[in-house]
Structure 1
């Protein structure tokens, strides 16, 4: 199987190489009102004569005067020519007849000879008469012009020509430029610059011609070059806009970064607002530059759908949400992990937390701790929770030590079922620092207060005890008679006249 496959692949490669050589060898030359072309299509004289007319040419070439322009080195081989100047008098060749041909050898030596008409030669030469030809295009500056003529499905190079048939495409390009300078088509002895009418060869547009505007348009991601017919990779092709929700938009001066549909510019960034249109409670705020849905009191955002809200209860009992329909019994709803119960008077429906640990509905391997609406698993000393948060695996190595005490934690702390109720570590750290600062300030104030009191006490004097005229009284028990005598003596002294 290997040999035939390799052989077939070799034949296919040779065919492609021959096809490429055929395309490259389609050469033409025009001068005055005559055009000549070389076709490398092997065949006998009759096949060459028919192919020449089928290609839109009038007849085989008769004069070998212009063969030098067509049979350029390193081209070699033999090619059919017309037998007589009057091509119309020519009849199909029969066996035994000979027909004219021209042979090119190495060194560009051309020889006209006669060979059997039924022989297979390398190709043939054709010619036709021009009408309304164009002269050479006057290119601007140092631009060079490449001429191509495509009468049917052929493509002939006419670079060495002096005149050009209608329909010839002339492309002018400067040496250092990446894209052509201009593009023209020969029409009625004049050169029309692209884009011309869309009905004629697609207006000369590289991609597509718009009949509404008679102009060239380019596909998405590409821009129209200044020559107005060629398309090139635009500045957005390398995706310079890398921000969230940004997209590149081509402008006349280059590009600009804009926000995609569903994003709005805020503070120099593109923020997604599409989610706000889907929020169940129609509440939407921006968190850390991203819009997110939030819910009314008593609800929380569903962990399964960021646009939906579900009941949220952080206590053992919460009011149930009930829907009343006429005289039928109300339909009540509770959060996950809660069950509907009635108040003692059987009038108000409540949602009561289900103790999964007590009911045996938990899946914990060691211990279970109930939580509002859920539960969490704990492990015995020397164990920790596995990745499934239910099973316990032995703690190995340094993981047994907690806070450097060398003792194992009796109950490793699993993730809380209510992350929003856990105090972040940075808040705990801030609280400790705040308390420490407060205690330090109180200590400083107490120090200055005691110091001030000590200073004041050092200067304090009991002046009342140092008065020279102070009278000291002593209390003494007396009888009634004594009291009367003392009182009488005091009255007598006060009634005595003052002696001057």
Structure 2
């Protein structure tokens, strides 16, 4: 920080020496070099000395002339005679030197005039500089004015800015500047900076102890921290936003501030109320409620939950007439409110809107119980639970029970096909058919089980009930034994029967 401070201090002291010799108004910087128009009457030799003492030399090229000689400026200004500044032309009556003349229509003419003539000034170019700054980004609609302070050089249309340039941001209608910066090492330091450099950028005084700006007695420091006000009442009391009422805004007055109504609001009964909404009401009905104007709708309609200026159908029964738009060349387009479906009565050509029973169709988001409502439904909880009205689920009861046990009606989703006509009796017939089918299945299942039980009661295994059960054993025999057994068997078969 010490080295940075010293470098900035040395740079500014060098620029302050230049300020004593150069008086200029306009400048243009690009890349790492600046060019200036110096409005100082004098002959060629005086112009050359003045430009050299400021660390520059007279311009030779006319490349940046248009940026410097802007309308309505006119006159003649000295230029360099050659690239090395040596040769002058000789003519009758003495030497002539190179200059450029500007007219009100921005015509530039390079010519030669007697070197001893006193012209309006000269064009000077300065030695290249290092670590330039780019443009300062101002907040909001503020504009930035750039001044090369040591030479009082305006650089508003420059592309780059040399160290020591002051940038002041100010709104178009602002009384005081918003901010102040100085260019140093390719960056912008915000005021107040160190007091040893150009007084820290303070308007009145910079305190080296606190490194902050101070104001004389009877004045206070502005919010920008570098300018002072004439009186405490000029410190913009609206900065703290003292007007907090609906539709109010703060306005500075010579004695302080006052709270006024914003555009589109009018003061009624001491409050600012919005009256512009009444111009947008679809049914042109508007009433004031609790100090606020709100749109109303005709009977059978209600204010839309999506747009407070629009009206939508409000059906308070199971069935109500649909809202239809008729045209000469096509079929009418009819619509139903949310939670209803369009149906067609067999005895009438007028479409109806029939309430959708979300609880019956299963299109609901309740934990325990569902209760249908016109155009919507409610959620209920079983005993021992209460409804969480934020997440719409049932939670165990606590010590503090709100006693409601149900939600406000859910808005039912709109039908994806509002023009589809579905008779109301189809839904009833479907339910009856399902009930009859389930009953028949139950009867058939009963007779089937009954028949199986009867058959299973008579099922017997005869093999296990026979009293004579032959048990056979396998035994290994020799050839002689087998012959003897065969002979005995044959003998028994040949024996006569004894009666």
Same fold (TM over 0.5): no
Tell me the TM-score normalised to structure 1 length: 0.40
| Greater C-alpha Rg | 1
